[in-house]
Chain A
Amino acid sequence: MRTLTYAQAIREAHAQLLALDARVFVIGQGLWSPWYAGSSLEGLDREFGCARLVDTPVSENAVTGMAVGAALAGLRPIVFHPRMDFMLLAMDPVVNQAANWSYLFGSDNSVPLVIRAVINRGGEQGAQHSQALHAMFMHVPGLKVVMPSTPADAKGLLMAAMADPGPVLYIDDRWLYAETGEVPDEPFTVAIGEGAVRRRGSDVTLIGISWMASECLRAAEILEREGIDAEVIDLRSLKPWDKEIVAASVSRTGRAVVADGAWRTAGASAEIAAELSERCFADLVAPVVRITLPDAPAPASRAEEQAYYPGAEQIAAAARGLLERNVKRAAA
């Protein structure tokens, strides 16, 4: 199988979706600009025409509403937000309209919409170009939320989002764009709601979201050198999320670290920890711990960014702490 970058995989999914279905179109800011979307949309306007790759004025609210209306009128839109922060201007069409529509007006009137949002943190971009807001959208009934971490999932989950009859928020992370991996040539889908075990282990389960899933894999390598055998789960979908695969793993290892590159309070990691305490209480030998951003806006300076964003070292330290806690208890 050939190898693609994460960004190339996203582009290939778009190209195949546009080629396969005349109802598919992409609308949003920066589609004709190479820097907004990295290489993830490069050249699609020339290949499929500007009528189906609609680079719009900066009107996030109405453009997203247009995508909802076009979906209701039979098209299959992908509405693009090159910075997730900008999407806050489009909360009404996403939350009030797209998410509620099929509940209110019946499943014959669902909104087959892909909302693509890019997290573009780091690079001294500061508090309003860096935010990872997935937990806000996880909260809303009627929305699905996916966050791929590998090139294959970047393609397969975008195609699954398009195949879904309802609105799906697809969040990709610029920090992953250069990651490489094998990606099937042909169109394929990765089931929404299924997590993936990336590494088998028996001592502790590391559960990662998006870019933090790759940090979990690096943490597992660090831990391996210390004789700690970590299992790594890439959540891939946040809503619905794969409670079975996570609970089965944690019941076996008895320990869990949840790693999410977003805020701590009421974050995705809090939801996972709460569910684990309900499902796995009897099997847990230590509390579930979370590795997250601090509850603070994203800083701009490089020095502060380094203090702000956790990574493999922090995840490994948390896992180590869970095992040490056990040793202490046994000794006592």
Chain B
Amino acid sequence: MTSETAWLVDRWQTMTLIRRVEERIAEMVESGEVRCPCHLYIGQEAVAAGVCAALTTADTVWGGHRSHGHYLAKGGSLTGLFAEVLLKATGCAGGRGGSMHLAAPAVGVPGTVPIVAGTVSLATGAAFAYKLRSEDTVAVAFLGDGALEEGQVHESMNLAALYRLPLLLICENNLYASHLHWSERRVADNLFRAGEFHSVPGERVDGNDVIAVHASAQAAVERARSGEGPTLIECRTFRWRGHVGASFDLDVGVERRGELAEWLPRDPLRRLTDQLIERGVANLAQLEQAIDARIRSAVEEARAAPEPAAQQEALCAH
């Protein structure tokens, strides 16, 4: 196996892990076992897998409400994720946050939060710290297309450009902010140009192509590490499921049947699977079984974990 193929298999494993975890969580939402709001990432896996492959463990990623994929791609604990969505004491946020509050500081996930664009300025500040200490570290802000409608993203881009901070803004344009299609929110389809006014170079890539996403992120990381400042990358993709929960949002008045029919065949994981089969990789089924086994055991471990101490005193100690 060539090193390129090995790399692709590695990315395939990350994307498959995310896909299978999300499908498992969707089942647990449908059965009522998971009660906290979950915003699933199915369909967008190539973005997290492609970007995080360009990073070191020390580099930090900052996410939002739809961040299971970022957390897993950066190496966050699988059991920690399931325990968190089940609000167990062993969750990656101690069972205090649920699906929207994931953290794995040791592998560069300081915390994800469900305030749209809320972590973009935090990532900018982390990049400021890396630069002030003359470190080689990079901060990555994952944001949705809706986040570019928030003022703080524009403020952050200006500040990051002004101070030449080692920052990547990865805009995952999945066409919807909650229930609103981009055309109901903007006149022009031009998010990758949002940084122009702030002197932040922008690029649009196929977010369902892990190789393209990685190449683009790699170039932006190099720019950041060499002191040239921030880059905005618009990754065009589509979330299969609804804004929140397990459904496809076909039943709540959002008309996206046509788009789903258009995007399902562009499945980023299917695409990579086909490439690997073409390259003669024959053990994908075994690898998938191993991933499923990991997920089964993580779910069991999370189920068996204790709930957080339901005491007022413990709640106030922070």
Does the CB pair B111–A61 fall under 8 Å?
no
Does the CB pair A62–B126 fall under 8 Å?
no
A107 to B314, CA, bound (A): 12
Does the CB pair B318–A107 fall under 8 Å?
yes
Does the CB pair B110–A104 fall under 8 Å?
no
Contacts of B230 in A (CB 8 A): none
Question: Of A59, A70, A101, A105, which one neighbours B125 at CB under 8 angstroms?
Answer: A70
Contacts of A17 in B (CB 8 A): none
Question: Of B123, B128, B159, which one neighbours A59 at CB under 8 angstroms?
Answer: B159
Name the CB-closest residue of B to A63.
B159
Q: Given A104-B96, A104-B97, A106-B94: A65 and B105 within 8 A (CB)?
A: no
A72 to B94, CA, bound (A): 18
A59 to B156, CA, bound (A): 8
Does the CB pair B318–A103 fall under 8 Å?
yes
A65 to B119, CA, bound (A): 8
Measured CB to CB, the closest approach of chain A to B220, in angstroms, equals: 19
Q: Which of A62, A103, A104 has the most CB of B within 10 A?
A: A62
Name the CB-closest residue of A to B115.
A96
Does the CB pair B159–A142 fall under 8 Å?
no
We find that the number of chain A residues with CB closer than 8 angstroms to chain B is: 38
Question: Of B111, B121, B123, B133, which one neighbours A105 at CB under 8 angstroms?
Answer: B111
Contacts of B125 in A (CB 8 A): 65-73, 77
Q: Given A61-B121, A65-B156, A69-B125: A103 and B113 within 8 A (CB)?
A: no
In the assembled complex, A51 has its CB within 8 A of some CB on chain B = yes
Q: Which of B94, B103, B125, B158 has the most CB of A within 10 A?
A: B125
In the assembled complex, A125 has its CB within 8 A of some CB on chain B = no
Does the CB pair A72–B151 fall under 8 Å?
no
Contacts of A75 in B (CB 8 A): 128-129, 132
Name the CB-closest residue of A to B124.
A66
Does the CB pair B126–A73 fall under 8 Å?
yes
Q: Given A62-B156, A75-B129, A109-B110: A93 and B96 within 8 A (CB)?
A: no
Those of A100-146 within 8 Å (CB) of chain B: 101-109, 141-142
Does the CB pair A62–B103 fall under 8 Å?
no
Q: List 5 A-B contacts (CB under 8 A).
A: A57-B158, A62-B152, A68-B121, A73-B126, A109-B110
Binding site for A on B (CB under 8 A): 60, 62, 93-94, 96-97, 101, 103, 105, 110-111, 113, 115, 118-130, 132-133, 139, 151-152, 155-156, 158-159, 162-163, 316, 318
